[in-house]
Amino acid sequence: MHCLKHWTLSPPRRTAQNAAMPDPRQALGRDAEEAAARFLERAGLRVVERNVRLQHGEIDLVCHDGDAWVFVEVKCRRASWGDAPSAAVSWRKQRRLVRLAQHYVKWRRLGNARCRFDVVAVTLEDTGGTRIRHVPAAFDASGMV
């Protein structure tokens, strides 16, 4: 199962039958990122960019908190799935986010910017509610380059 995320797959061919049917997982992800952005803004962070696409991946949210640039991974899960959303941020995903952040800092010419890596876990309750947990400095980026 892990090998599949490294393959490059062609998107499904759009037909009249599926053209109007959005992918429910994409819609769920967009809603979770929107909820996470609102949550972080209420917590005092400034959301600078969303869904930053770089050559080797995407950064969900780029925020600014005081003098730190904050790179945020948003994870969404249904409560019935069992695992906490933040459990899905593996070491490999952490390393990838660090490398994307390095490219972002270089691309935006931010110099020796102070960076932090946060995770926002969005859990969808079976009752229809949403629980959001912000984990500031979720992992240490030293030794991942």
- Is there a domain that residue 86 lies in? yes
- Is there a domain that residue 12 lies in? no
E-strand ranges in the chain read: 46-54, 57-65, 68-78, 114-124, 130-135
Query: Is the pLDDT assigned to residue 9 strictly greater than 70?
Result: no
Provide the pLDDT confidence category of residue 119 given band limits of 50, 70 and 90.
very high
Domain that includes residue 126, residue range: 46-145
- Is there a domain that residue 41 lies in? no
Identity of residue 80: S
- Is there a domain that residue 30 lies in? no
Q: Report H helices in the chain.
A: 24-42, 91-107
Distance CA 99, CA 101 (A): 5
Distance CA 5, CA 90 (A): 13
Query: Is the pLDDT assigned to residue 127 strictly greater than 60?
Result: yes
- Is there a domain that residue 33 lies in? no
Number of domains in the chain: 1
- Is there a domain that residue 73 lies in? yes
**68-78 and 130-135 beta bridge pairing:** unpaired
The pTM of the full predicted model, rounded to 2 decimals, is 0.78
pLDDT in tens, 23-82: 777 787 888 999 999 999 999 999 999 999 999 899 999 999 999 999 999 988 776 655
- Is there a domain that residue 50 lies in? yes
Q: What mean pLDDT do residues 102-121 have?
A: 94
Tell me how long the chain is: 145
CATH of the domain at 118: 3.40.1350.10
DSSP state letter for 5:
G
Determine what percent of the chain falls in helix, strand and coil, rounding each to the nearest 5. Answer: 35, 30, 35
Position 139 scores a pLDDT of 87
- Is there a domain that residue 60 lies in? yes
Helix/strand/coil for 36: helix
